[in-house]
Amino acid sequence: MRPITVLGIETSCDETAAAVVRLDASGSPAILSNVVLSQIEDHRAFGGVVPEIAARAHVEALDGIVDAALAEAGLVLADVDAVAATAGPGLVGGLIVGLMTAKALASVAGKPLVAVNHLEGHALTARLTDGVPFPYLLLLVSGGHTQIVLVEGVGRYARWATTIDDALGEAFDKTAKLLGLPYPGGPNVERWAAKGDAGRFAFPRPMKGDPRPDFSFSGLKTAVRQAAAAIDPLTDADVADICASFQRAIAETLEDRVREALIRFRNAFASVARPTLVAAGGVAANRTVRAVLEGLCARQGFRFVAPPMALCTDNAAMIAWAGIEHLDAGLPAPDAMAFPPRSRWPLDEASAPVIGSGRRGAKA
């Protein structure tokens, strides 16, 4: 096989990112560069991402980030075989910036353009980092998505579970805001949880034991708010204990929900000698979540794979790799030059919507 080198661009939320990834002639992947500019400071005062600010920041930074990624890889644009860019789902302003920039670069250089689903970038990252073979099970947990997905091949996905209300990352962020912790919420909840007593508050484990495979987190957020209100004003010890108890409830909820999916996978793919669970998305960087899932997989006879922390959160290396996967598989692709940015773009468009606010998850 011939080597494939792809420039990836990611601007779906509040990271401006570009990367160069190569699949060499032997089939081995390598990240030649992976440049990420975070906008955390731009949004911190607002306690969350402001779409208009994010879009303007992408406009100002993206050209320099692309130049830096190419320079770090020791290449110029003419050296890459294709350009890949996130086309959705995400904040449409940022998507427009990244996708239009990618279209311009591909047009000027005469290179193919691959319009990448951001969720597919997360779904395929474990193949870049760990060479995970198909099929495998994916737990995608981020600020906008909480899904269990069967990954059978490039472009072949089936959603087995989703949230019926809030995404897990959103639950972390809203809990942090309720407790007065700074943005971004997830890492700060984890940091405070490390100092707290996880047994102090008996928070619910939503849908534990429910025959439906889905998730729910709105009731857990309500329980956190009620506990905080009952002891207001909060001391630092109170905040740490609430964070620890909340984080334990999340981990045990995931353990219960994922266990059922592992059993289903084992029954459906009995011939797979060593099945794999992949955890991806920003919440997969949480060490407590990783530890619980790793223990669950060990007991169920599954291999557990979570990408390095830097590749769990939004980045362009995963977008470049998804582009490589599509090119290497020779999949028929839509005309990327005419492909519009999509604020909602389900990974498995055939799946039916789920009752509740999780309907958003069925469309994003």
pLDDT value of position 45 = 78
pLDDT value of position 363 = 35
Helix (H) or strand (E) holding 291, with range, is: helix 287-300
Judge if 286 and 252 occupy the same domain: yes
Judge if 46 and 120 occupy the same domain: yes
Judge if 274 and 347 occupy the same domain: no
Domain boundary among 277, 292, 310: 310
Judge if 192 and 228 occupy the same domain: yes
pLDDT value of position 360 = 40
Judge if 40 and 105 occupy the same domain: yes
Judge if 150 and 107 occupy the same domain: no
Taking alpha carbons only, the member of 68, 57, 67, 80 closest to residue 11 is 57
Q: What single-letter amino acid sits at 314?
A: D
Judge if 79 and 101 occupy the same domain: yes
Q: What single-letter amino acid sits at 192?
A: W
- Residue segments in the chain with a per-residue pLDDT below the cut of 70: 332-334, 351-364
Judge if 152 and 292 occupy the same domain: yes
| Number of domains composing the chain | 2
The residue behind tokens 């290497």 is 328
pLDDT value of position 39 = 81
pTM value is 0.92
Judge if 272 and 249 occupy the same domain: yes
Q: How many residues appear in the chain?
A: 364
Judge if 37 and 95 occupy the same domain: yes
Judge if 111 and 148 occupy the same domain: no
Judge if 12 and 60 occupy the same domain: yes
CA distance 86 to 155: 15
Classify residue 215 by its DSSP letter: B
Range of the domain at 92: 4-125+312-363
CATH value at residue 173: 3.30.420.40
The DSSP code sequence of 2-46 is --EEEEEEE-SSSEEEEEEEEE-TTS-EEEEEEEEEE-HHHHGGG
